[in-house]
Amino acid sequence: MSKDQKEIEEHDEERSFSAEIIDFFKDLVIIVVVVKFITVFLVSIFIINGQSMYASYYDKEFILVDRFSALELGSIKSQSVKRGDVVVFKPWVSKTKEYFIKRVVWMPWDEIKIEEGQVYLKKWWKGEFKLLDEQYLNKDNYWNTQVDGGKKSNIYSVPKDKYFVMWDNRGHSSDSRTCFSYSCNATSRDNFIWKEYVVWKVLLDFWYFNFKEFSFSHPDIDDASWEGIITKPRWTASPDSYEY
């Protein structure tokens, strides 16, 4: 092999290696862009923090949320969120808790009445209140929705472009009944959230897996009185929506 041929082969090898490096970073950039697009506009994974949605969802449980269902991008407005849907939204009431997960119970123009622990809905086109049979609630919360810490009666009228939302763990959290507790004294706060605050709707329920015990048992849940507690993947079988 001549010296010139050897130099040419070495040059080709260097160029090939450089091309591989360039191709690698091109692919990496494409992957990052695609993943970013998916997580911003389509779906994202959340880990639930706390028991506010117990027993529908559990602390440390993984869920996949659907961004497109609540997307508003210029003239594109899907807004397929409806009564009974579990959604993730920005409450704008805390710097440490950017997102909340709650259930949309009432839509714009609806009226809500909470009386003696029971919840009633009057849809905007109907003239009477209907008692809600919220079967997704566990027995501690079923027909035990209180207002102001007691079984006081109250009526809420949902304004245009807003939602009334509640936790499923009614007795152990604050929601639209008390304008998210610590936000009640803030300027321009009320009992409702704006439609545009909703950024995701729950799509799939994955699981909570206890690696310490290598099982699906939850270390913080011991409720033998509520049969039906599972932390295995429920996929689309979780109560992420309900027909009122």
Provide the whole-model pTM.
Answer: 0.80
The number of domains in the chain is 2
Q: Does residue 177 form part of some domain?
A: yes
Domain match, 19 and 85 both: no
Question: Among residues 87, 149, 143, 151, which one has the least CA distance to residue 120?
Answer: 143
Q: Is residue 186 domain-resident?
A: yes
In this structure, are 80 and 192 located in the same domain?
A: yes
pLDDT at 187 over 50: yes
Mark which of 167, 183, 200 sits at the end of a domain: 200
Model pLDDT for residues 150-170, shown as the tens digit of each residue: 667 899 999 999 999 999 998
Asked whether residue 11 falls in the same domain as residue 86, the answer is no
Mean pLDDT is highest, among 18-27, 141-150, 170-179, 234-243, for 234-243
Residue 67 resides in a domain: no
Q: Please check whether residues 17 and 92 belong to one and the same domain.
A: no
Helix, strand, or coil here: 92? coil
Is the bond preceding 186 in cis, omega lying within 30 degrees of 0?
A: no
20 within some domain: yes
- Residue 48 clears pLDDT 90, i.e. is over it: yes
Residue 89 lies in a domain: yes
Domain membership flag for residue 34:
yes
**Distance of alpha carbon 196 from alpha carbon 202, whole angstroms:** 16
Q: How far apart are CA 235 and CA 12, in angstroms?
A: 52
Pair (88, 193) in one structural domain = yes
* Residues 180 and 135 reside in one and the same domain: yes
Confidence of residue 228 (pLDDT cuts 50, 70, 90): very low
Range of the domain at 3: 1-42
